[in-house]
Structure 1
Amino acid sequence: MRLVKRHQYILDKLKNENYVLVAGIAKELNVSEVTIRKDFNLLEKKGLLFRNHGGATLVNPYVVDKPLSHKQHLNKSEKHLISMKATNFIEDNDVIILGSGTTVLNMVEHFPKDKNITVITSSLLIASTLCQYEKVNVIQIGGDVRKSSQSTVGPVAQELMQEISANKLFLGIDGLDLDFGISTSNNAEAYLNKLMIKNVSKTYILADHSKFGKKGLSHICPLKDIDFIITNKNLNEETKTTMEKYGIQVILA
């Protein structure tokens, strides 16, 4: 296939899937991965895509901190499906940590009311809502309140997280990049998330397909530290296969 046709194929694929991998495109076009990397370089120089480790995207991979009120309106239907799927993994007598992301917040709508569960959370909204559930024991993480996320961070929050453990963590993120790993756009939030991951048996990342190929300001952990990713069915097959190579179980909602 000639260069112009390859470039058009790549751009058309990106419009449909948001994110493509070098290996996947090379296989589909029956050319070498070196050729596709050169194509990506040329297209990036023209401002037609953004390269990242092993792939490319049409959108700027760097994300900035946005208030909760804004995030709640992004990809609402996808978040709804992901949060519903996530609650299927909550079992009787679980001790779980819930992060402060909007997708995790949506889990509360589908929370099991018939199970005895202990929930540890930095989210003020999650804690106040779960207080309505008779069988749910709520532990609110104290600390400095981030008004944009209505959650707690800082030394007090970090001290508590270092002293407790749980069997499951459900965490929302701002970015998932093959090279940079899992990230968020706030330093204090990222450090608290690191401690959460360190002190749980299983980590569930809740992320719609728009988070893949993105980078937040602050690194949380490498992909190898994640056990499960719950995402929507828009995730392309190449990305799913790559996640599974890292030992992650990908669950589609």
Structure 2
Amino acid sequence: MTNTHLPKPEARRQLLLQLLKQHKQLSIHEMTRQMGCSEATVRRDLDLLEQTGEIFRTAGGARYDDPLRGISFHEKEQLFWKEKEAIAAKAASLVQQGDIIGLTGGTTTFLIARALKDRHEITVVTNAVNIAMELAESKKIQVVLTGGVMSNETFELSGPLAEAKLDGLHINKMFIGIDGIHHQNGISTHSELEARMTSIMMSRADRAIAVFDGSKANKSSIFHISPISSLEAIVCNTPLPAELQEACARDNVTLHIADGEPDAL
């Protein structure tokens, strides 16, 4: 399909997007070869496409971010692992002895659980089977696992059984894994069921803390969870874009940068 009515850069970016939709994932080298342009041009186009939320940058390339396709836990493991470890360590520093914390599913929240394994006298409420199993050997941590139907992609439990389990529970600090955070649209995720579970868990919590790597900033996924104003804090590995920082300041949301000094909530 031709795009002669569009400016050349826009036509080139649409062609690049179509290639990523077709192949799902490509390296920079593959994109430069198929597009017939320089690596610098491809990288600039990827930067612009990433801002739309349609693609996801990976080490050495990019992947088409199809909102209708669930991404498995093992696929997510490969993306920004070191950054997520730093975010998890920072988030774990906010947990104090005696806390009842909530963890949604996700790779970053899984790493928070791993960072908390040697802590004493905390309770973890989660709807993620892999998080519960990660904490199973910790004799000093009480784990509350919701019931429900498990997603084979994310290991998260959802549905009426999971929602019913949350009735009457109280959580001090709720750590939320997300797929997008936008200054106008708030926090969001790819799964309708997971969005609903997260929203219910947040309603049972005193404080809600979103944890995410910088690739999620100013992105909107398909299913809304809540506005930014519902958050107490966020933990990220990079400073936020200006519009998102302004939204957080307006709503009194505290920003914790992963490489900073430990804080307490």
Q: State TM-score, norm by structure 2.
A: 0.71
Distance 2:214 2:82 in 1: 12
Distance 1:63 1:229 in 2: 25
How many angstroms does 1:151 deviate by? 1.4
C-alpha distance 49-157 of structure 1, shift in aligned 2 (>3 A): same
How many angstroms does 1:75 deviate by? 0.9
Q: Which moved more, 1:84-93 or 1:235-244?
A: 235-244
Residues 231-251 of structure 1 deviation map (CA, whole Å, 9 limit, x = unaligned) = 012534554343222211010
Q: Give matches, 1:11-50, under 5 Å.
A: 49=48
Q: Give matches, 1:121-140, under 5 Å.
A: 121-140=126-145
How many angstroms does 1:178 deviate by? 1.4
Which residue in 1 is equivalent to 2:107?
A: 102
Which residue in 2 is equivalent to 1:249?
A: 254
How many angstroms does 1:110 deviate by? 1.5
Partner of residue 182 from structure 1, selected from 166, 187, 194: 187
Residues 160-215 of structure 1 deviation map (CA, whole Å, 9 limit, x = unaligned) = 12331111101100010112111000011000101011110011100111001211
Which residue in 2 is equivalent to 1:92?
A: 97
How many angstroms does 1:112 deviate by? 5.4
AA partner of residue 169 (structure 2): I
C-alpha distance 206-47 of structure 1, shift in aligned 2 (>3 A): closer
How many angstroms does 1:228 deviate by? 0.5
Partner of residue 197 from structure 2, selected from 192, 212, 228: 192
CA contact (8 A) 1:63 1:185 kept: no
CA contact (8 A) 1:63 1:174 kept: no
Equivalent position SS for 2:82: helix
CA contact (8 A) 1:98 1:120 kept: yes
AA partner of residue 232 (structure 2): D
Which residue in 2 is equivalent to 1:60?
A: 54
CA contact (8 A) 1:114 1:135 kept: yes
C-alpha distance 47-249 of structure 1, shift in aligned 2 (>3 A): closer
Higher relative contact order (CA 8 A, sep 6+): 1
How many angstroms does 1:145 deviate by? 0.6
Which residue in 2 is equivalent to 1:147?
A: 152
Residues 116-156 of structure 1 deviation map (CA, whole Å, 9 limit, x = unaligned) = 01111111111011111111011111100111101101010
CA contact (8 A) 2:117 2:135 kept: no
CA contact (8 A) 2:158 2:194 kept: yes
Q: Give matches, 1:193-212, under 5 Å.
A: 193-212=198-217
Q: State TM-score, norm by structure 1.
A: 0.74
Equivalent position SS for 2:208: strand
Which residue in 1 is equivalent to 2:233?
A: 228
Distance 1:251 1:85 in 2: 8
Partner of residue 116 from structure 1, selected from 112, 121, 124: 121
Which residue in 2 is equivalent to 1:14?
A: none
Distance 2:246 2:151 in 1: 36
Segments of 5+ residues of structure 1 without an aligned counterpart are 1-45, 51-55
Equivalent position SS for 2:78: coil
C-alpha distance 124-238 of structure 1, shift in aligned 2 (>3 A): same
Percent of pairs with identical residues: 27
Distance 1:92 1:209 in 2: 29
Distance 2:125 2:47 in 1: 44
Distance 2:246 2:80 in 1: 23
Distance 2:66 2:89 in 1: 26
Distance 2:117 2:133 in 1: 16
Equivalent position SS for 1:176: strand
